[in-house]
Amino acid sequence: MIKYLLSAGDLTRDQTIEILDIAEGMADVNEREIKKLPTLRGKTVVNLFFEDSTRTRISFELAAKRLSADVINFSAKGSSVSKGESLKDTAQTLEAMGADAVVIRHPASGTANVLAHSNWINGAIVNAGDGTHEHPTQALLDAFTMRKRIHGSNSKGKALDGLKVAIVGDVLHSRVARSNLLLLNTLGAEVHFVAPPTLLPANPSNWKATLHFSLDETLQVEKPDVVMMLRVQAERMNASFFPSEREYARIWGFNADRLKTLKPSAFLMHPGPMNRGLEIDAISADSPQSTVLEQVANGVSVRMAVLYSLLSGERAADVK
């Protein structure tokens, strides 16, 4: 069993499908009147958040609680070194308190890897977003959502072979894009990135994806099965990545006109929180094609599956 989930690329195809299948079961639990399993009773899960993210934190918190784990939320703002306690001291403190799993969100790329490869923590580690690197549980919940939309209650055991996914927006700074790229590659989907040239990496040669500058042309020519819009972060607005918000919205934003060009079976995703009127307009965001709220609901199921996979294996080993 895996002990760390640092990158979506850590998972094999079989492991990915297994986690998604477990999440199906968790989704059933989340439909019940009593939404709780005793699986992780006595386990302690720490949400170690160095960056504000209410959505991701409560999703993990709910996931852990529904598995009956004890949950501690540890928020530390900003770079740990400049603000006093080092990452090492924080990690060792949590270890000393007996954390079984640490879910870490950090503004610096690679921090989950640093934590995993130090000897500071013995427990499981889940990367809940590290800088502009990765956000593997987001990719898992996105894959889960795609599978569910396509296969409904027959989703178990399925991959995403041949699915055409267009990911649109600030690809350069997006951990969602990076994790989705790796996981979609693993599941056999075809990835298309659409962005202004300033928001694509200067050298994408290691990426198994097709790059496009024009959203309209991509929609027209590629006819994607899935369109995933990325959030435009406020700090990009005044850094010359694009001339103005209006121009961005016109050329790369999703709107009612573009919605009409989608094929009937296609759907529209967004990891949230949305900038309505910038990368996505209200009509699209609230349309039946939009999966935004499904993604949120599925996030809890998928994170339950991840925590279960990381921690219940350990329990089995304990019994041996």
Measured from the CB atom, is 26 or 91 closer to another protein?
Answer: 91
162, 190 contact by CB (below 8 A): yes
| Binder among 32, 34, 82, 264 for another protein (CB under 8 A) | 82
In the bound complex, what is the minimum distance in angstroms from residue 9's beta carbon to another protein? 9
Tally of residues, the chain: 320
Measuring CA to CA, how many Å separate 203 from each of 13, 186, 239?
Answer: 27, 22, 20
Strand locations in 158-208 (E): 164-168, 190-194
Backbone angles phi, psi at 287, to 5 degrees: -75, 160
Going through 76-152 in order, the beta strands assigned E by DSSP cover: 101-106, 124-130
Residue carrying the six token digits 């020519």: 221
The reply to whether 79 sits near another protein by the rule CB under 8 A is yes
Among 12, 75, 118, 198, binds another protein (CB under 8 A): 118
- Taking the C-alpha atoms of residue 289 and residue 259, their distance in angstroms, rounded to an integer, is 9
Residue 117 engages another protein in binding (rule: CB under 8 A)? yes
CB of 74 to another protein, least distance (A): 16
Q: Which of 54, 153, 205, 244 binds another protein (CB under 8 A)?
A: 205
Q: Of 87 and 278, which CB lies nearer to another protein in the complex structure?
A: 87
Answer yes or no whether residue 175 interacts with another protein by CB under 8 A.
yes
Per-residue interface string for the shown chain with another protein, residues 127-166, x marking contact by CB under 8 A: ---xxxxx--------------------------------
201 contributes a contact to another protein by CB under 8 A: yes
Contact with another protein (CB under 8 A) among 81, 97, 251, 282: 81
Stretch of 124-132, 261-269, 274-282, 311-319 contacting another protein, by CB under 8 A = 124-132
Is residue 204 a contact point for another protein (CB under 8 A)? yes
Which residue is associated with the tokens 């928020």? 75
* CA 254 remoteness from chain centre: 20
Instruction: Say which amino acid occupies 162.
Output: G
Position 113 contacts another protein (CB under 8 A): yes
Strands 164-168, 190-194: pairing is parallel
Alpha helices, H only, 97-206: 111-117, 136-151, 175-186
Shortest spacing between CB 318 and another protein, in angstroms: 30
- Residues forming contacts to another protein in the complex (CB under 8 A) are 79-82, 86-88, 106-111, 113-114, 117-118, 130-134, 173, 175, 178, 201-207
